[in-house]
Structure 1
Amino acid sequence: MSFEIKLPLFEGPFDLLLFFIERDELDIHDIPISTITNDFLSYLHELDQMNIEVASEFILVAATLMRIKAKVLLPRPVLNEEGEEIDPRDELVKHLLEYKKYKSVVQELAAMEEERMQQYERGNVMQELRALAQEQQVETELQHVDLYKLLKVYEKVWVRFTEEKKDNSHRVVQYPYTVEGQKGFIRQLLSKQPRDVSFVTIIEHNPNKIAVIFNFLAILELLQISEITIKIGEGYNNFWVYRTEDAEQA
């Protein structure tokens, strides 16, 4: 009778020994070494008759079994440090128990592998992006996106986010000007001038951009209440401001 032992991840002599033990319902801690050695050698003879090359690990285990069998048949007691006799089968039993433990783990891993194989694979990201772009007929850079480009974009966004997070305060600066205040400033200038004052002269007193805007707004309000009159010069590059009563006298 020949035996063919195949496991998903492990093939070898210990699989065969465990097969014999489970088949004959033997106690793994009290192996009938003569019986199991004969079964193991018979299996190797079957392989030889089928012209199948016997792996070196099978030959090694066969030699180990015959050595243990010889020790059992011709006992020369080996004692441990405590003076107790050492069973020559102990080392073999130890290896079988350890192998059986790993074999059970392999079965669990095989079940997990089978479960994972039932799940849909992620596939190739680049191919999926190109297929999606082609299906939607989009002519964008999405077709040429790769992981490196995505990481570079992420890096830039993260740096910008970090910089913005460092100082998210905004300072509100109150300008030292008001329309009413600049109206008083223009009235004061007109009172010092004999008749009129040019807008360029007003700017020269305070060339600050904000001050120029407030002065212009003040002039507009004074025009609205008819307190002043303006005269536009040649080329529209300048204008002159008069007090209304001075303009009427002129």
Structure 2
Amino acid sequence: MPFAMVHGQAFTQLPKDLYIPPDALEVFLEAFEGPLDLLLYLIRRQNLDILEINVADITHQYVKYVEMMEAMHFELAAEYLVMAAMLAEIKSRMLLPRSSEEEEEEEDPRAQLIRRLQEYERFKTAAEDIDEMPRMGREIHQATAQAPDRNATRPDPEVDMKEMLLALSEVLRRADMFESHHVEREKLSTRERMAQVLDRLSGNHFMPFVSLFSVEEGRLGVVVTFLAVMELIKEQLVEIVQSESFGSIHVKARTQ
């Protein structure tokens, strides 16, 4: 199996003139926030109780880790070296022979280190618990929405003459359905029809524009009624409204 393809050519062996710098590849297995974090990791990995740590083994593992980081050209913080020196001191003090009186008077060399580890473990556990809590912007996202303006008013559209002509054409189309072949001359007066329209609008309420027409009267009656309404509008005796574009047209007697 080729380990690389270059310009379509398979390579199964490394070129003899290939140079790989020593620092071309670096692998970091663990990342610690400080020397106490490293010590706590070493203790937990062996399932040991902090109160019963084996300083010799922990010191050996700690120093081995520090030497590994130095070999990888990793810049160590001074606190790692200080902790290494402290572990070496505790290890040497525990290896020195002591009398029974000195053991009773002198404090365990591990006591201070154990207290620091216990305190660090408490804060680390608390930080992990806090980090697992739901956080705004990470697990919880606050939604915001603005309600529409319910007080907005919509002005009534102006009634265009084209709208009235369209309504008239509809009435005329319906009037054609009642045409008769019996020819009889009728005397229709625009003034009389104006009075009839005003009489129908005397209730001070809106009426549909098309309801003013009587299709049984034929085209002549429709035209006379339409002219009567136009004259009433011209004389400002009636007013017309339309609630929306292309909507129904209504007529109402104008109040003085």
Larger RCO, structures 1/2 (Cα 8 Å, 6+ apart): 2
Q: TM-score, normalised to structure 2's length?
A: 0.42
TM-score (norm 1): 0.43
| Structure with the larger helix share | 1
